[in-house]
Structure 1
Amino acid sequence: MVDTTWDYSENTPEINFLAEKMSENSKIDPALYGKYDVKRGLRDIDGKGVLTGLTDISTIKQNKLVDGKLVPCEGELYYRGYNVNDIVGGILADDRFGFEEVVYLLLFGEMPNREQLLNFKTLLVQYRTLPQNFVRDVILKAPSEDMMNSIARSVLTLFCYDKNPNDTSINNVLRQCIQLISVFPMLSVYGYHAYNHYLRDKSLYIHRAEPTMSTAEVILSLLRPDRSYTDLEAKVLDMALILHMEHGGGNNSTFTTHVVTSSGTDTYSAIAAALSSLKGPKHGGANVKVFEMFEDLKQTVRDWKDEDEVTRYLEKLLDKQAFDKKGLIYGMGHAVYTISDPRQVILKGAVKKLAEVEGYDKEFDLYALVERLAPQVIGKKRRIYKGVASNVDFYSGLLYSMLDIPCELYTPLFATARIAGWSAHRLEELINAGKIIRPAYMSISTEKEYTKLSQR
């Protein structure tokens, strides 16, 4: 029997009143953060991150040493010591798919030879299956309009199907991670199909993954009703997955993985926590915000080539007069990079090529115009301590739209790639078995004398 006394959709007057009281009593004077030298967001005022750990999985470079001083430079990203530009360049030169190869690199710290890569791909295919009736009983019976929540629920439910879910030995966790990497495309796409069918009244398609396909091909074939895709589409998606799969230990979701793993919890809980972090619009959800912002721009700006008109729109964004009125130009700026995001530089070239083939030239030119104008507008409107450049989220939304990937799957695709990085970092945390991560918070509350209830 359903309890109809509960209403999960609306706030009552009592909740609104209590929320206002809570907000008023929880405010902290922003000046106190400076007074006590608290690094908000674990970052210095110049954007440099506070050192909280060590990692051998990836390296981010945004500065170089010149005459004894650190100065901003073009951004660089390394996976296990290999420059991502070189990795992607080698894969493109061979005209092949590379996601699985880079997963191997992140997990095991070295590039696989042909035999190792073939064996690893075979292992991924072997694990690319869900428990019997899992799709019917878990994914289809509880459709959600939010795919990230759907994936997190599926991941937590897979705990129940694991015979050794709480075993945190390296062998067992590696097995769990490889299984999750293998099934993430299915959890994402099947979750979308459930939403599209039960909540949008569209046709339901549940295809099976073919064993010969790469991860990018699996995604496109599971998503599309006719399972068709071009080689260019799959190769560009493969590149996007590679660029999204890892980005240092300090990004919010990976740091979450380290923090939660340090408590000794199970793999499924750690990955669900990372998913919850990535969902946020300030992290993985930013690609959706970029796409939605441009959709609003295209409806608002009459002449997409008019720099003055586009500039005025960007100014309205910062003045909280346009789009979601948050005062942000989404896709611009990064917590680490100053001059350029190397992932964006690579992705932009691929997006441009696909736009020419798919007939999205005007859209690409608009994105490029905003990319050029936004730093100028931000520089005039904001007090900034470092440069502002477009990040990897800026063009990814346009890429996915050209691939006919629904907006609901933008962030899940990010997760489908980043699960490789999370897995590597979880294993790294366990192997080095440090203390539970517990940073300090300074209390600014004043001591108060307790009074009995009858006297209040």
Structure 2
Amino acid sequence: MHTLKEIYQDNEERNFIDPSLYSRYRVKAGLRNDNGTGVKVGLTKICDVIGYKIIHEKKYNIDGQLIYRGYPINYLVNKQPSDKICGFEETAYLLIFGTLPNADQLKAFKDYLLNFKMGPVDLQYETPNILNALQIEVLKLYAKDPSADTDDLEERMMKGLKILASIPLFTFSYARNKVFKSYPYPDRSLAENILCMARGNDQYTFEEAKIMDTLLMVHADHGGGNNSTFANAVISSTGTDIYSCISAAIGSLKGPKHGGANCKVTNMFKAIFHEVGFTTDQTTLKKIANRILDKDFFDHSGLIYGIGHAIYTKSDPRALLIHGQCEALAKSKGQEEIYNCIHAFEKVAIEVMKERKGIDVCANVDYYSGYVYSLLGIESDLFTPLFAISRTAGWVSHHLENRQSNRKLIRPANVYVGEMEEIK
């Protein structure tokens, strides 16, 4: 008797679809056009991601821009006061409410988030992954909410803020096997509280907290087309509760092609360091890059993680902001040699991709973010949960926008290319 696994393997070919059929039936695989641009599926006022221009139906690569409610991310990061840390709170407010807060509004918003009190948390999950635990905890919030299924926008907004305030506490409760019912320092910023909970002490420098704040800001949103936000939009279109939508978005973010890429980059660097040391030699690093593309090194996927992006071509503004702060932090930590190797490999990888595939690529946000997290003393299993913490602000804002304006059920079509069995 065959096992079910063997039966599936014997019939695996029945699930294989000839890639040429996509062009034959004009199906946009991955919701991508033939020139690599995304298929337009919605409208938004929240965020714009710019990496190219289309002029007379021809695509021209340009320097990347990330726009939150009309403000470039570079402006929002660089405008932060030199003596305060409140960038993420200001950014989350902007995304959710549509305008930059004044001093009183920012204080009210920050007080709500950081004075939040969480209910009981069960840490005994049979899952090794924090993202899965976050999904469970967000769904538990639904179970505790007597009006969880309301379609009132203001109530959905308040539920969204509850999720936004809860996820950092859930994350570090699970990571440290210690329930954080509230933030240790409600009079400080979320970035500072994250460093305290991650490290188990408050021994951080102002510069470290500033960098964490920047990381939270640049991850807060990335338009309506990124995978987790689109998953959120698809589920929101059914009219279901916000808890289900955010839980689904977290599940999407867990994937290595989305939020999990930062861990892949970190592990790729470890493999490179083990193979060739902290070298900046171009010939040596070029051989490594070619081996990765040849599926002869690291995870044999043929992917140079952290290099290339679906939209950005010449530059990723998030990566540039992180890179600028990363160099100074690495030097202060005595890791200049490691930083120099990572920076040298970035240049080589971009060059090799151009030679091998004829495409213009750049380092994306994941290329440096994992390294910066490690410089801040944060272990790799927290990298993607930290992404989820910041991206929740964007998920909530897009959920509210979709429930207000884009209420049509998302229901695309597939083309059937299977066989028709002869029925006797």
User: What TM-score, normalized by structure 1, do the two folds share?
Assistant: 0.89
Shift of the 29–305 alpha-carbon distance from structure 1 to 2, 3 Å rule, reads: same
Q: Return the offset for 1:302.
A: 3.5
Cα RMSD (Å): 1.9
Give matches, 1:271-286, under 5 Å.
271-286=246-261
Q: 1:211 aligns with which of 186, 203, 209?
A: 186
Q: 1:408 aligns with which of 381, 385, 394?
A: 381
- 1:201-230 per-residue CA deviation (whole Å, 9 max, x = no partner) reads xxx685851211211111111122333222
2:44 counterpart SS class: coil
Amino acid at match of 2:376: L
Q: Which residue of 2 aligns with 1:439?
A: 412
Instruction: Write the distance in 2 (CA, Å) between the matches of 1:301 and 1:16.
Output: 40
- 1:56-78 per-residue CA deviation (whole Å, 9 max, x = no partner) reads 00111222467996521100111
Q: Return the offset for 1:292.
A: 0.5
Amino acid at match of 1:352: E
Shift of the 436–206 alpha-carbon distance from structure 1 to 2, 3 Å rule, reads: closer
Matched, 1:318 2:293: yes
Q: Which residue of 2 aligns with 1:148?
A: 131
Q: Which residue of 2 aligns with 1:329?
A: 304
Q: Return the offset for 1:447.
A: 1.9
Shift of the 155–87 alpha-carbon distance from structure 1 to 2, 3 Å rule, reads: same
Q: Which residue of 2 aligns with 1:347?
A: 322
Matched, 1:28 2:14: no
Contact 2:114–2:190 under 8 Å retained in 1? no
Shift of the 71–144 alpha-carbon distance from structure 1 to 2, 3 Å rule, reads: same
- 1:94-152 per-residue CA deviation (whole Å, 9 max, x = no partner) reads 643211111110001111111111111122234x2211xx22xx2x2225321111111
Instruction: Write the distance in 2 (CA, Å) between the matches of 1:65 and 1:93.
Output: 39
Shift of the 394–303 alpha-carbon distance from structure 1 to 2, 3 Å rule, reads: closer
Q: Return the offset for 1:23.
A: 2.1
Contact 1:207–1:222 under 8 Å retained in 2? no
Amino acid at match of 1:408: D
Q: Which residue of 2 aligns with 1:186?
A: 169
Q: Which residue of 1 aligns with 2:49?
A: 60
Moved over 6 A (4+): 65-68
Q: Which residue of 1 aligns with 2:118?
A: 130
Contact 2:322–2:368 under 8 Å retained in 1? yes
Amino acid at match of 1:193: R
Contact 2:85–2:189 under 8 Å retained in 1? no
User: Unaligned regions of 5+ residues in structure 1, if any?
Assistant: 1-11, 195-203, 452-456
Q: 1:418 aligns with which of 384, 391, 396?
A: 391
Q: Which residue of 2 aligns with 1:252?
A: 227
User: What TM-score, normalized by structure 2, do the two folds share?
Assistant: 0.95
Shift of the 223–55 alpha-carbon distance from structure 1 to 2, 3 Å rule, reads: same
Identity %: 38
- 1:68-94 per-residue CA deviation (whole Å, 9 max, x = no partner) reads 965211001110001111110101556
Instruction: Write the distance in 2 (CA, Å) between the matches of 1:269 and 1:68.
Output: 39
Q: Return the offset for 1:192.
A: 1.1
Q: Return the offset for 1:450.
A: 2.9
Contact 1:208–1:222 under 8 Å retained in 2? no
Q: 1:266 aligns with which of 223, 236, 241?
A: 241
Q: Which residue of 1 aligns with 2:154?
A: 171
Contact 2:271–2:298 under 8 Å retained in 1? yes
Q: Return the offset for 1:436.
A: 0.6
Q: Which residue of 1 aligns with 2:66?
A: 77
Q: Which residue of 2 aligns with 1:118?
A: 107
Q: Which residue of 1 aligns with 2:421?
A: 448
Q: Which residue of 2 aligns with 1:7?
A: none
Contact 2:85–2:213 under 8 Å retained in 1? no
Instruction: Write the distance in 1 (CA, Å) between the matches of 2:394 and 2:307.
Output: 23
User: Unaligned regions of 5+ residues in structure 2, if any?
Assistant: none
Task: Tell me whether 116-125 or 269-278 shows the greater mean CA deviation.
Answer: 116-125
Shift of the 174–22 alpha-carbon distance from structure 1 to 2, 3 Å rule, reads: farther
Task: Tell me whether 95-104 or 267-276 shows the greater mean CA deviation.
Answer: 95-104
Amino acid at match of 1:404: G
Amino acid at match of 2:335: Y
Contact 1:185–1:218 under 8 Å retained in 2? no
Instruction: Write the distance in 2 (CA, Å) between the matches of 1:192 and 1:93.
Output: 31
